[in-house]
Amino acid sequence: MDVTVSASVDEGCMLAAWLVGTEHLSERDSGEICIFEIDADAVGEGKSHARCGLKAHSDARLATDMTKVVLPLDTSKPHTWTAIWGPSGTLIGCEGMIVKRMPQSPGYPLFLMIDLFEIGPRTGTDTSYPKTAHIHRVRGWDAVSASDRK
């Protein structure tokens, strides 16, 4: 799946996208593929930072594996993140670059969540609202079908 976003530069904000287990078959099916977490203070003109990886939550079959990555781009501009997962593992990419590869993946239905969080106390000078980030595009596909296309 792909998600194209522009991260927030509003003080104290974090834009995040994640796939999380639906838990409708079992409470253990709660693992998460964290596609990205981008704090506004980590957005830069030529370089930005993000966190990505897996969070086990209540799924003992998974191990939490999160990484802080450096991206050679300004994440306040539109950029596309990709997540591919299956029996062979999980891959997270940004703008065609692989930023995280893991040998594990949730093996149950997931749903996509995207949110703009206001984190921390309101101690900064920017108290204006609304806080903003932009979701430009979301695209899902069946990875098996996509690989069979010519």
**What's the CATH code of the domain at 6?**
2.60.120.200
Total count of domains within the chain: 1
pLDDT in tens, 84-125: 999 999 999 999 999 999 999 999 999 999 999 998 766 666
Burial group, residue 70, by CB count within 10 angstroms (0-12, 13-18, 19+): exposed
What one-character DSSP code corresponds to residue 149? -
pTM, 2 dp: 0.91
Domain range enclosing 86:
2-121+128-148
